[in-house]
Amino acid sequence: MLVVVAPGQGSQTPGLLTPWLEDPVFADRLEWLSAVSGMDLAHYGTDADEDAIRDTAVAQPLLVATGLLAALQLFPHPADAFGRIGAVAGHSVGELTAAAGARAITAEQAMVLVRERGAAMAAAAAAVDTGMSAVLGGDRSEVLALLEELGLTAANDNSAGQIVAAGTLEQLAALASAPPARARIIPLKVAGAFHTDHMAPAVGRLERLARSVSVHDPRTRVISNRDGQVVHSGQDVLRRIVGQIARPVRWDLCLEAMDDLGVTGILEVPPAGTLTGIARRHFGKRVETFALTGPDQLDAARDFCDRHGEPSPLDLSPTWRMVVAPSKGTIHLADESRAAGVLAAGAAIGDIVSLRDRIAVTSAHGGEVVEWLVEDGDLVSPGQPLVRLHPLAHRVPSARSAS
């Protein structure tokens, strides 16, 4: 099973688009996304120096455009992607790349949102001198306890042995001067304490914009940074992306979800290397990885996708909808829903119980029950369809959903 992942801020390097722009199709598409974002992305991806592309307002649109356009080079026809990719995930701003790739939002919507996200986060970062540092190694519980003691946030929990601390520069200096036992502290080249309360003003800005964004339920499973759950409501995908600006990235839980899905191959879109490196340390030789760094690798990347690809279980027919499991566990179906011929939007489907938690599953959309695809007490995996619904002519407005 193939998972495609998109990296976050800090992975950009000077000249990353130079080899890609030799293809006129890529160049034309980049010009279009530049027009949408109001930025000269070709300049920032070729001639701009490291300091220029470190700017949050520049780095984020550059990363999303690069990932989206490289994916289009890999899968020129989106239908080919849907027939191979089992799930997508993005680290931090990479979630916008993943959401557009899964067709929850359009590429144009992603570029407008990332432009405003980058500008709002840059403004929030300028209000207080903050930053981020990677904590490599050390005992996990000791690392987390020290961060809490210093008032720092574990902003990125990437995997065992790699946690990113975020906070004021004074707090980070205190961490560097007395690090946890057997741990190294590496300052990161970012402008502020992302995924912490310092970014709350940026959340407010994106929340207002997101109210006007039309979304679709994704056509590929989307794994959320918030908790590693598979999200199958377009509204929920966008809501989580907005809120994640000021919430820690739980990439460790995303990796667990990939494991639950049965991942065999992980392909990282450019600028690639960071997430495939984390995956190799997490999975070892159980999962093959591919870091797509340049157009000369496209044929090899397509071969990789052919070896690991299998279609998402989400049927693409527009004549009915599905409710899917957000995580792994045992499904306990709600009696009232099992007996109903029609479900209203927001109707309780049941609970998924695992050793870690209990998650309520509701129907984001109302509809006539076509068929139940699981029975009470079944073990389910992330993104597994639970019930198929036929849309009603007059639906109740969508409600929040865990599905």
| Tokens read off for 56 | 């949050």
> What confidence score (pLDDT) does residue 100 get?
96
Residue 92 annotated to the active site = yes
Rounded mean pLDDT of 338-355?
A: 92
In 10 A of CB 325, how many CB atoms? 27
Q: DSSP string of 128-185?
A: S-EEEEEEEES-HHHHHHHHHHHT-EEEEEEETTEEEEEEEHHHHHHHHHSPPTTEEE
Give me the pLDDT at residue 188, please.
Answer: 87
Instruction: Fill in the DSSP letter of residue 244.
Output: G
Q: What number is the average pLDDT over the span 8-13?
A: 92
H/E run at residue 221 = strand 221-223
CB 104 within 8 A of CB 190: no
- The pLDDT, as a whole number, for residue 187 is 92
Q: Give the sign of the dihedral formed by CA 67, CA 268, CA 263, CA 230.
A: negative
**pLDDT (0 to 100) of residue 320:** 74
User: What number of residues does the chain have?
Assistant: 403
Q: Could you identify the residue written with the tokens 């071969």? A: 303
**Distances 230 to 7, 225, 265, 355 between C-alpha atoms, Å:** 18, 10, 18, 17
List of domains in the chain? 2-124+197-308 (3.40.366.10), 128-187 (3.30.70.250), 321-390 (2.40.50.100)
Which distant-in-sequence residues (6+ apart) come within 8 Å of 101 by Cβ? Answer: 4, 6, 67, 68, 71, 81, 85, 88, 220
Average pLDDT over residues 284-295: 97
Q: pLDDT digit string (tens) for 238-277?
A: 999 999 999 999 999 999 999 999 999 999 999 999 999 9
What local confidence, expressed as pLDDT, does residue 395 receive? Answer: 40
Tell me what the pLDDT averaged over the chain comes to: 92
Residue among 195, 282, 308, 365 flagged as catalytic: 195
**Averaged pLDDT, 217-221:** 91
Supply the DSSP symbol for 249. Answer: B
Closest CA to 41 of 55, 53, 51, 25: 53
Distances 382 to 118, 126, 310, 348, 352 between C-alpha atoms, Å? 31, 39, 15, 18, 10
Residues 6+ apart with CB under 8 A from 84: 2, 75, 305, 306, 308, 309, 310, 311
User: How confident is the model at residue 305, as a pLDDT?
Assistant: 95
pLDDT at 401 (0 to 100): 37
Tell me which range, 126-130, 188-192, 290-294, 392-396, is most confidently predicted by mean pLDDT: 290-294
- Does the pLDDT of residue 26 top 90, yes or no? yes
Residue 310 pLDDT: 85
Give SS3 for 37. Answer: helix
pLDDT digits (tens, 9 = 90+) for 71-108: 999 998 767 787 899 999 999 999 999 999 999 999 99
pLDDT tens readout for residues 111-135: 999 999 999 999 999 999 999 999 9
Calpha distance 115→120 (Å, rounded): 9
The pLDDT, as a whole number, for residue 402 is 39
Q: Which of 98, 120, 36, 383 is nearest to 241 (CA)?
A: 98
- What is the side-by-side order of every strand in the sheet holding 367-372? 321-324, 385-390, 367-372, 342-343
Question: What's the N-to-C CA distance of the chain in angstroms?
Answer: 21
Q: Yes or no: say if 330 and 354 are a contact pair by the CB < 8 Å rule.
A: yes
Query: Given this model, what pLDDT does residue 319 score?
Result: 60
Place 398 in a pLDDT band, splitting at 50, 70 and 90.
Answer: very low
pLDDT per position as a tens digit, 138-180: 999 999 999 999 999 999 999 878 999 999 999 999 999 999 9
Out of 92, 224, 233, 337, the active site residue is 92
User: 299-338: per-residue pLDDT in tens?
Assistant: 999 999 999 998 777 654 556 788 999 999 999 999 999 9
| The 221-223 sheet, strands edge to edge | 230-231, 221-223, 85-90, 2-6, 265-268, 288-291
Q: What is the pTM of this model?
A: 0.85
Question: Which residues make Cβ contacts (< 8 Å) with residue 148, sequence separation at least 6?
Answer: none
